Amino acid sequence: MTQLAKLPIGIQTFSKIREGDYAYVDKTPLIHRLVTEGSYYFLSRPRRFGKSLLVSTLQDLFEGRRELFKGLDIEDKWDWETTHPVIKISFGGVARSLVDMKQDVTNVLDENQRRLGVTCNKPDDIGGCFKQLIWDAYQQCGQKVVILVDEYDKFIVDNLDQLDVARQGRDVLRDIYSIIKDSDAYIKFAFLTGVSKFSKMSVFSGLNNLEDISLSPDYATICGYTEKDLDTTFAAHLEGADRDDVRRWYNGYNFLGEPVYNPFDVLLFLKNGQQFDNYWFASGTPNFLITLIQQNNYYIPQLDNLKVSKSLIDSSDIENIQLEPILFQAGYLTIKKQTQVGALTMFDLGFPNLETRSAFNEHILDYLVGQRDASARYQTKILQTLMAADLDGFEQTLKSLFAAIPYNNYVNNTISNFEGYYASVIYAYLASLGLDITAEDVTSLGRIDLTIRLDDVIYILEFKVDGSGDALKQIRERNYQQKYLADGKKIILIGIDFDSSSRNVTDFAWEAVK
């Protein structure tokens, strides 16, 4: 029996993976292209996507550790005789004050000094110390310096809930990164990576020679696993797995190239006996994003069908934080489609896979309805009634769950007087179940509020509030079902009317049309 390669779960050090005979997806063809075609790069990717491993690989490459690259694509393409001093900046822990952030920078500079055998004359002067570190490393080694920055934005991202501290973090980082441009004559290569893309003006302050490869098709797969990677590196581990389900759960991240899998999900799925679960989502709770949704009065179903300009998701402004770029950069949404409208590039954003859609919407339910203990019961009942086409049961389930929502959830919710709140609750329940649903489903005669597609039945739902119209009548008049007649499935039209005074369903009408 063939011994399976060990799974590198949580390992972000290239040497540890290679020396420990862990499974490794060879990214060196892209790395070779990266280091031979340019000098200054920036890459944004979601958390736990392999950014730290990429930085570690670059460090070992420039330090000339050929033994680690034995058998990899780059081995016979690299000049192993020439090595470069590497300054690696990586901030550990969570710094929640200006004092802590400055101490973190001092610690990072101290560690690089010890490793490179140099000493800073003025350790209290962060910018001056960094500049001296670059110069002394260049002088001592006789080769230009390589600068690698992992999680360049950590001081900002960790403090988005306290913007004054986030601004202080931005200023600390700006003082560091401005040194890179000033030291260009002594730098061979610089690579900065992180989750968010804060504007160059706000963070990099003049470091305008960075090539942003975050949405470059050439480097779309430099982090993450491709379908081919699963077919080769992890083929033996995946024996017996339903690959369609694996793809549906964990693939779908699109950076304008081949879609990729989340590595963290794939590795934990394999470790846990091919059990599907929300591994990546569970590793970090998006509480700040829920706050942004609340503050911006977002219609929840819209999150699965956002249309935004490239300029909007291309960078963030700490002074005016927008939900869309944060959701995209953090990995909760991805690019579904790219279109060109004149000189404007537009993206359709949506959830990348089943994990993010179901887990994110389950988290949203806590914010919308505050029914954590009862949610599982309602989810089960909703699924059972829809699968059985039990419309009376579906109606009663909806009435029960809305009746159970605490009064404060309505009072404190900024969209409580609009049909958006009621539609958002129903959508979040359905999406958390992983059902095939489409919000604001476009037809030639209008937009369907919500479409649910099951194996043998399609539900078309329309919502109204406070007598704003006959919901079922609107579906009939606009012939929404016509779009799905060719599917050959039973189609059920459902009109749901809500009353903001009673905060519940006041009319539930349906009919089967096929």
Specify the residue for token string 């002074």: 319
Instruction: Say if CB 512 and CB 492 are below 8 A apart.
Output: yes
At 281, list the tokens. 């989502």
**Residue 358 in contact with residue 278, Cβ under 8 Å?**
yes
Q: Looking at residues 219-224, what average pLDDT do you find?
A: 98
What is the average per-residue pLDDT within 340-346?
90
State the pLDDT at residue 372. 72
pLDDT digits (tens, 9 = 90+) for 10-37: 999 999 999 999 999 999 999 999 999 9
Residue 1 has pLDDT above 70, yes or no: no
Q: What is the pLDDT of residues 426-457, one digit of tens each?
A: 999 999 999 999 988 887 777 899 999 999 99
Residue 317's pLDDT band (boundaries 50, 70, 90)? confident
Higher pLDDT, 304 or 167: 167
Q: Is 152 within 8 Å of 109 (Cβ atoms)? A: no
Per-residue pLDDT of 50-66, as tens digits, reads 999 999 999 999 999 99
| CATH numbers and ranges of domains, the chain | 26-219 (3.40.50), 370-512 (no CATH)
pLDDT at 302: 86
- The residue written with tokens 């706050």 in the block is 291
389 or 469, which is more confident?
Answer: 389
- Tell me the C-alpha distance between 149 and 153, whole Å: 10
pLDDT at site 315: 72
Percentage above 70 pLDDT, the chain: 95
**Which one, of 68, 69, 108, 105, lies nearest residue 88 by Cα?**
108
Higher pLDDT, 216 or 368: 216
pLDDT of 85: 98
How do residues 185-217 score in pLDDT, each as one tens digit? 999 999 999 988 876 556 666 566 789 999 999
Distance between CA atoms of residues 357 and 363, nearest Å: 10
145 neighbors 186 (Cβ within 8 angstroms) = yes
- Phi, psi (5° rounding) for residue 99? -60, -45
pLDDT at 287 over 60: yes
Residue 218's Cβ-side half-sphere holds a number of Cα atoms within 13 Å equal to 11
Q: Is the pLDDT of residue 474 over 70?
A: yes
- How would residue 416 be classed by pLDDT, with cut points 50, 70 and 90? very low
**pLDDT of amino acid 207:** 67
Query: Mean pLDDT score of the chain, rounded to an integer?
Result: 91
- Angle at 206 (CA atoms; ends 199, 59), nearest 5 degrees: 85
pLDDT, average across residues 101-120: 95
Q: Is 484 left (phi over 0), alpha (psi -120 to 50) or beta?
A: alpha
What confidence category does residue 414 fall into, taking pLDDT thresholds of 50, 70 and 90? low
Least confident of 67-81, 178-192, 399-413: 399-413
